[in-house]
A and B are shown apart, each in its own frame.
Chain A
Amino acid sequence: MFQIFKFNGGVKPPSHKTQSVTEPIGVAPLPSRLVVPLHQSIGGTPRPVVKTGDRVLKGQLIGEADGWISAAVHAPTSGTVRDVGMYLQPHPSGLTAASVVIEPDGKDEWIERVPVDYRKLSLPEVQKALQQAGIVGLGGAAFPAHGKLVAPAQNPIDTLVINGGECEPFITCDDMLMRERAEGVVRGTAIYRDLLQARQVLIGIEDNKPEAVAAMREAVARLGEDFQVVAVPAIYPAGSAKQLIRMLTGKEVPSGKLPTTIGIQCYNVATAYATWRAIEFGEPLISRLLTITGNVERPRNWEVLVGTPIDELLALAGPKADTDGVIMGGPMMGFAVPDAQVSIIKASNCLIARSPGLFPPNLPEMPCIRCGECARACPADLQPYEMYWFARAKNFGKAQEYHVFDCIECGCCSFVCPSHIPLVQYFRFAKSEIWARERDKQAADTAKNRYEFKLEREEREKAEKAEKLAKAAAAQAAKKAAEQAAAEQAGAAADVAPSTATTPPADDPEAAKKAAIAAAMERAAAQRAAAQPQNTDALTPAQQQEIDQIEARRAQAGIAEDTAASEKNQP
């Protein structure tokens, strides 16, 4: 019997999962337009490689990965690029960001798909292929999947954990994926097992999904793999990577470290499935499963294209009359979308139509009574009531001392708080303020380095200039001395009186400089005297005649002398 460990805390909110699993996965119809944001994963923003008016094929690259932690973005269907510009994002900020708008042509014509034979390639080549296919973590964080593939030689991985927890209420897309496409998930898991050379593979699924557990066990047995499919107790947040790792292995990921430091790596089931599609069929990540549920007539899971506008998807499910908003993600960690026009991104797993009955308005926040409920509920073993004080007082140093960065923002503390304090909001606020300060500090360091470099460069340039001047002056003096010597030799008997005084000794830089300037001015004067207006030689008789006429008119007007005078003044 497999031993399952426990993590501290956690809550059991009502699951609301049964509504959306009655129907099989549906394929959403092509939307009227697709707005594909370029920045869909953690890391650099991909650079657009298409422009307005271009025809693109399904799966064609439209955003090129920028840097190592960044994943490519592809056209979800064939059509015409209508715009590359700033569009509202599915993000709590309600800000816009660069997106590519594609009008589908209805043909859904694929680009040439090239499967990747990962067994014959080196790890960096497979990583490159996954980055090119735009594979990111589909559990919610959207971390580029290739970035998590550590080289087995440097960092041996003992256990590969595949996360089928899906602990948030309402969401069932991973559940349906495992029920209907278990084979793909298992094959994708095998790819990661091979790449990481993991000794054992544990697939953790919450025990409120018995169908998914059975389907996965059946697929593992059929494919002859030795993966262990483990049903873990359904307690929120069992689907969080760190908590699932603890439940399955009994090991705790150290504070501020990655699971790889204790020989464990974790992928979501949907990521494994998408990886298998990319490796086996050469399909980039352009669609995902999405639960549409909540206050709707027909809750169901749909396979949707990345970039599909939310309002068109909601129409499929038939929102009820009293729907007053949409939540993207789950009720614990999701956010209200700023506008129904925003589109689905790779990280979106669920849309919940909100109604006052389903989500009563937040009760007013009351003072903390230090009951300690939040600390008992915290799955990361933190003290939310302490961090709350410091975050509220903007004492971020103290908040950091209480490990605010170990907070996984699961929302358990806010859920249990009898004073209805939105604790997670405070921790998110503290985290983003600390990050902003970190960025400011880095900017200040860069500015300081650049300023110091500039000062140093200016000093160096000054020194170099002085040196150059001195050298030129010395050369000039030497030349003068040589000339003088020659003159003296030539007219040795003659009365040589001049220029002994004017030739300065070479070791007097001031005099040398003066001499150099005098010489330069003499040369310039000679050049000026020699210079002729260049556009007045080789004139045709007609031109000459014209000039003469002009001169005559000028003489008549009496301005010739003035001009000459002013010319004299402007050398």
Chain B
Amino acid sequence: MLTAIAIMALGAILLGAMLGFASIKFKVEGDPLVEKIDSLLPQTQCGQCGYPGCRPYAEAIAKGEEINLCPPGGTEGVQKLADLLGREVKPLNAEEKPKQIAIIDENTCIGCTLCIQACPVDAIVGAAKQMHTIVAKLCTGCELCLPPCPVECISMEPVPETLQNWKWKHPVFAIKPVPPQKAA
């Protein structure tokens, strides 16, 4: 009886020590799930989901926030998040837009630098009282530069189709209405 208790107690102590050691030795910094969710988000840092950037939204999703709040990710992004988290696919809570980039009308720009400060990816170049311009290759289309502009010289334009980004179209069945047949 006593031996049995002693053995159980010894086992408990041993296992407890091992668990304690493991929790220190193999400590994971941050939440790995957040990392995975973050890698599925489009990283536009646009805040259209209501969170200040993609990572905060990823953290919120990990805590149970809806997965359909990211318009740049589109329906496909929702699908991917649903697959990762095993949740139900929901329709996007905003309309899906084609990918756009910001363009500065350089005749109207007064060089106030407000858009430069707003750009989350430093894709706008220019200096005070100098014309600004957007590096199209780096622009994520987040629209964060639109509100601060005092002269409204920034507009969003859809990304033009070029030979480099052109895609083969989905070969679809051509469904044609059958002409009504005359009764013989």
Whether A associates with B in a native complex is yes
Q: Is B26 an interface residue when CB atoms closer than 8 A count as contact?
A: no
Instruction: Decide yes or no whether B151 CB sits under 8 A from chain A.
Output: no
Is B25 at the interface (CB under 8 A from chain A)? no
- Set A45, A426, A451: member contacting B120, Cβ < 8 A: A451
Q: Are B53 and A93 in touch, CB under 8 angstroms? A: no
| A427 and chain B: residue at smallest CB distance | B168
Contacts of A453 in B (CB 8 A): 122
List residues of chain A with CB within 8 A of the CB of B165. 436, 439
Main secondary structure of the interface of A (DSSP, over half): helix
A446 touches B138 (CB 8 A): yes
Which residues of A sit under 8 angstroms from B162, Cβ to Cβ? Answer: 95, 97
Give residues 409-431 of A contacting B (CB, 8 Å).
422, 425-426, 428-429, 431
Quick check: is A475 within 8 A (CB to CB) of the other chain? no
SS of B interface (majority): loop
Q: A425–B174 Cα gap in the complex (Å)? A: 14
Give 1 or 0 for each of B36-49: 1 = CB within 8 Å of chain A CB.
00000111110000
Instruction: Flag if B121 contacts A432 (CB, 8 Å).
Output: no
In A71-103, the 8 Å CB interface with B consists of 89, 91-93, 95, 97
A443 within 8 A of B: yes
**A428/B168 contact (C-beta < 8 A), A39-B163, A451-B121, A454-B122 known:** yes
Does residue A358 face the partner (Cβ distance < 8 Å to B)?
no
In A39-71, the 8 Å CB interface with B consists of 39, 45
**B31 close to A (CB within 8 Å):** no
A429 touches B168 (CB 8 A): yes
CB neighbours (8 Å) of B138 from chain A are: 446-447, 450
Does B179 belong to the interface (CB within 8 Å)? no
Q: Could you mark each residue 139-165 of chain B with 1 if its beta carbon is under 8 Å from any beta carbon of chain A, else 0?
A: 010000000000000000000011111
Q: CB of B129 within 8 A of chain A?
A: no
Q: Give bound CA distance, A436 to B120, whole Å.
A: 23
Interface footprint category on B: 20 to 34
Determine the chain B residues whose CB is within 8 A of the CB of A450 once the complex forms: 120-123, 138
A95 and B43 in contact, given A450-B121, A454-B122 (Cβ under 8 angstroms):
no
Q: List CB contacts (< 8 Å) of A281-337 with chain B.
A: none
A451 touches B43 (CB 8 A): yes
**Residue from A436, A443, A447 having most chain B Cβ neighbours under 10 A:** A447
Question: What A residues does B164 contact at CB under 8 A?
Answer: 45
Provide the A171-209 mask, 1 if CB < 8 A to any CB of B, else 0: 000000000000000000000000000000000000000
Judge whether A448 is part of the interface by a CB distance below 8 angstroms: yes
Interface centre among B123, B162, B170, B171, by most chain A C-beta atoms within 10 angstroms, is B171
A445-B54 Cα distance, complex, nearest whole Å = 12
Judge if B167 is at the interface, Cβ distance under 8 Å: yes
Q: How far is the CB of B84 from chain A (nearest CB, A)?
A: 13
From A433, A445, A448, A451, contact of B167 by CB (8 A): A433
Contact pattern, A 127-155, Cβ under 8 Å of B = 1, otherwise 0: 00000000000000000000000000000
In the complex, what distance in Å separates the CA atom of A45 from the CA atom of B167? 18
- Rounded to whole angstroms, the CA-CA distance of A16 and B171 in the bound complex is 28
Report chain B residues within 8 Å CB of A435. Answer: 167
In chain A, positions 242-301 with a C-beta closer than 8 Å to chain B are none
Could you tell me if B173 and A95 are in contact, using CB atoms closer than 8 angstroms?
no
Closest to B170 in A: A429
Min CB–CB distance A506 → chain B (angstroms): 34
Contact between A447 and B167, CB atoms less than 8 A apart: no
A440 at the interface (CB under 8 A from B): yes
Residue of B nearest to A426 (CB): B171
**CA separation between A394 and B169, bound complex, in Å?**
12
- A432-B163 Cα distance, complex, nearest whole Å: 12
A482 within 8 A of B: no
Contacting A91 at CB < 8 Å: which of B42, B54, B121, B163?
B163
Which residues of the partner chain B approach A440 to less than 8 Å between Cβ atoms? 42
B-chain residues with CB within 8 Å of residue A433 when the two chains form the complex: 167
Q: In the bound complex, how far is the Cα of B174 from the Cα of A394, in angstroms?
A: 18
Residues of A within 8 A of B123 (CB): 450
Q: Which residues of B contact A446 (CB under 8 A)?
A: 121, 138
Residues of A within 8 A of B166 (CB): 91, 93, 95, 432
Measured in the bound complex, the distance between the Cα atoms of B59 and A259 in whole Å is: 46
Assembled-state Cα–Cα distance A451/B44 (Å): 9
Which B residue's beta carbon lies closest to that of A91? B163
- Taking CB as reference atom, which chain B residue is nearest A97? B163
* Chain A residues with CB under 8 A of B140: 443, 447
B161: which of A45, A89, A95, A428 is its contact (CB, 8 Å)? Answer: A95
A444/B43 in contact, CB under 8 A: yes
CA distance A444 to B168 in the complex (A): 23
Q: Does A365 count as interface, using CB distance less than 8 angstroms?
A: yes
B42 adjacent to A425 (CB under 8 Å): no
Contact A448/B43 with A429-B168, A432-B168 known, Cβ cut-off 8 Å: yes
- Closest A residue to B41 by CB, please name it: A444
Closest to B160 in A: A95
Bound CA span A539–B137, Å:
57
Query: Which residues of the partner chain A approach B44 to less than 8 Å between Cβ atoms?
Result: 447
Please judge, given known A-B contacts A429-B171, A446-B138, A447-B121, whether A93 and B43 are in contact too, CB under 8 Å: no
In chain B, what residue has the closest Cβ to A39? B163
Q: Is B170 a contact of A454 with CB atoms below 8 Å?
A: no
Given the known A-B contacts A39-B163, A444-B42, are A429 and B169 also in contact in the complex, defined by CB atoms under 8 Å? yes
Contact A93 B163 (CB under 8 A): yes
Smallest CB gap from A457: residue in B: B122
Tell me the smallest distance from the CB of B166 to a CB of chain A, in Å. Answer: 4
CB of A425 within 8 A of CB of B168, answer yes
List 9 extra interface pairs beyond A444-B42, A447-B140, CB under 8 A. Answer: A89-B163, A91-B163, A92-B168, A93-B163, A429-B167, A432-B166, A440-B42, A446-B121, A447-B45
What are 5 pairs between A and B in contact, CB < 8 Å?
Answer: A433-B167, A445-B43, A447-B121, A450-B121, A450-B122
Pairs of residues from A and B, 4 with the lowest C-beta to C-beta distance, nearest first:
A444-B43, A425-B171, A450-B121, A432-B167
Interface residues of chain A, those whose CB is within 8 Å of chain B, are 39, 45, 89, 91-93, 95, 97, 364-365, 394, 422, 425-426, 428-429, 431-433, 435-436, 439-440, 443-448, 450-451, 453-454
